[in-house]
Amino acid sequence: MSERWKPSVTVAAIIERDGRYLLVEEHTPEGLKLNNPAGHLDPGESPQQGVVREALEETARVFTPECLVGVYLSRFRRPASGEDVTYVRFAFGGTVGEADPARALDDGIVRTLWLTLDEVRASRDRHRSALVLKCIADHAAGVRLPLSAITTDTTVYAPEIKRG
């Protein structure tokens, strides 16, 4: 019997202010890369809760999701190990407050930076994945879906127990 395929679910914050997008520079197995503030969805949280948590951990800023930019499917094979991973990414547009100077950035995050769309395009060879630019380009093009497009059933927080 073969093992069931299980894509990794991630969440990403697409944050624009004054024509610039907030990115993080982070250590990866492939070297220092640029990424949207993003990470894996944790058990027991909705995608909206996950993106708020990840943005805070990676930017030291409170993120307020305002829309769903899109749901993306991608696949990545690590050059060194050959690990083959498929990702489902929920990308949210929203706003952030100022950085909390008392809060440390997550392990592996070197710094945050604000880049224009042209600067994001010009740095494509440093992106963690093609989704970094795709999500920002969709946001810049005005793609906005309502947050209500995502439903998180209450069983995520308290699983149903089948009796009987």
Indicate whether 129 belongs to any domain. yes
Indicate whether 26 belongs to any domain. yes
Indicate whether 95 belongs to any domain. yes
Partnered with residue 90 across adjacent β-strands are 11, 71
Give residue 73's pLDDT band: very low, low, confident or very high (50, 70, 90).
Answer: very high
Partnered with residue 99 across adjacent β-strands are none
Do the Cβ atoms of 68 and 149 come closer than 8 Å?
yes
Output the pLDDT for position 90.
98
Indicate whether 159 belongs to any domain. no
Q: How many domains does the chain have?
A: 1
Output the pLDDT for position 46.
98
Indicate whether 164 belongs to any domain. no
Provide the domain limits for residue 137.
8-150
Q: Which CATH number fits the domain that encloses residue 97? A: 3.90.79.10
Indicate whether 29 belongs to any domain. yes
Indicate whether 163 belongs to any domain. no
- How many CB atoms neighbour CB 96 within 10 A? 19
Q: What are phi and psi of 112, to 5 degrees?
A: -110, 155
Output the pLDDT for position 64.
98
Beta-carbon contacts of residue 162 (< 8 Å; ≥ 6 apart): none
Identity at 36, one-letter amino acid code: N
What is the reported pTM?
Answer: 0.93
Output the pLDDT for position 78.
81
Indicate whether 156 belongs to any domain. no
